[in-house]
Amino acid sequence: MAIHVTARQRARAQIIDEILEQARRQLASHGAASLSLRSIARELGMVSSAIYRYFESRDALLTTLIIETYDALGDEAERAAADSAGDADVERWVTTANAIRAWALAAPHEYMLVFGSPVPGYAAPDDTVAPGTRVTFALLSIVRDAAVAGRLTVHGDDVEPDALSHELARLAQVVDLPVPPAAMLATLAAWTQLFGLLGFEITNQTRGVVEDHGALFAATARLGARSIGLSDRPG
């Protein structure tokens, strides 16, 4: 069995790419719900049934798109978190948040594919879960680095009620964050704030609120970072 990439295999990989690229183009112009195999085939100059040589079904295509989208966003966030290592923790958080936002604004429909309304009739399989957590873990890694280095200043009282406090403690363990419940809670709040504002911006819900959405986003990210207890001084 020769380990040898045949012309057929190269062509195949290339066509899969073209299908995905075309699918993303249609996502951008019509949204995920109306993504259609027939129109992708049409645009590619194929007959619609030919798509089935590459994807088992429309759902399989959607799954691939979702995974690739999560991975692209995850890459972006991980890179920002890694590249900013050594900066002040607050700056790392803001930088990574900004990277997420920049990616999302460049590909709003892909962002909405994974964070917007579920696509009707489509049930995301388990393969999408792991890639979906990458962005979040990139953000958490910044808090972890700070906590491990002893640079985290926990403020806020104990979390009420006790049951929630325990859940947060357990969660901190699961995601490997050596922080108390109050810091875990602040981290969740800062995390969800990021995606809340970003979602509002992308769906135009904040139109008119402010001119410079980038500045607002960065400022709220900074606020969140400080409430987590991240440090303003470089490590």
Distance CA 163, CA 182 (A): 13
Residue among 16, 22, 46, 116 that touches a second copy (CB under 8 A): 116
161 upstream amide cis, omega within 30 of 0: yes
Interacting positions 11-30 with a second copy (CB under 8 A): 30
> Dihedral of the CA atoms 213, 218, 221, 222 (nearest 10)?
-140
Q: Is 154 in the site for a second copy (CB under 8 A)?
A: no
Kindly write out the interface string for residues 42-61 of this chain, putting x where it contacts DNA by CB under 7 A and - elsewhere: x--xxxxxxxxxx--xxx--
Binding DNA (rule: CB under 7 A), the pick from 23, 27, 37, 73 is 37
Which is nearest to 132 in space by CA: 84, 187, 176, 195? 195
85 binds, among a second copy, DNA, none (CB under 5 to 8 A by kind): none
36 binds, among DNA, a second copy, none (CB under 5 to 8 A by kind): DNA
Q: Quick one: tokens of 117? A: 């309304």
Q: Which is nearer to a second copy, 80 or 194 (CB)?
A: 194
Alpha carbons 17 and 200: distance in angstroms, whole number: 31
Spatial distance between the Cα atoms of 33 and 113, rounded to a whole number of angstroms: 9
101, 105, 107, 111 alpha-carbon torsion, rounded to 10° = 50
Judged by beta carbon, residue 54 or residue 227, the one nearer a second copy is 227
Site for a second copy in 185-224 (CB under 8 A): 185-186, 188-189, 192-197, 199-200, 203, 205, 209-212, 215-216, 219-220, 223-224
Tally of CB atoms within 10 A around 23: 25
Write out the residues near a second copy by the rule CB under 8 A.
30-34, 112, 115-121, 132, 156, 159-161, 163-164, 167-168, 171, 185-186, 188-189, 192-197, 199-200, 203, 205, 209-212, 215-216, 219-220, 223-224, 227
